[in-house]
Amino acid sequence: MDKDDLLALKSKIEKSKTTVAELTGQQKSQMNQLKETFGCDTIEAAEEKLETMKKSISKLDTQIEEGLEKLEEMYNG
């Protein structure tokens, strides 16, 4: 390796360090938002919360469908 190769490698390393720092900052920001919005401290807790929310949505969808069917029966029956 000559001097130019070493300088190019040094530049790549510095850019990589900057990128890592930026991504780490973004990750911290997103984890803070996750905690503030949903009360989740970890990705695993967020995944569990997501599953719970999906089940709730599914239940609500079923209730809405049943309600609509009853309304149709009342007004068409």
Q: What is the pLDDT of residues 16-55, one digit of tens each?
A: 999 999 999 999 999 999 999 999 999 999 999 999 999 9
Exposed, middle or buried: residue 46 (CB in 10 Å: 0-12, 13-18, 19+)?
A: middle
The encoded tokens of residue 22 equal 């930026």
Quickly state the pLDDT bin for 1 (edges 50, 70, 90).
Answer: confident
What is the Cα–Cα distance from 57 to 22, expressed in whole angstroms?
36
What's the whole-model pTM score? 0.68
- The string over 2-41, giving b where at least 16 C-beta atoms fall within 10 Å of a residue's C-beta and e elsewhere, is eeeeeeeeeeeeeeeeeeeeeeeeeeeeeeeebeeeeebe
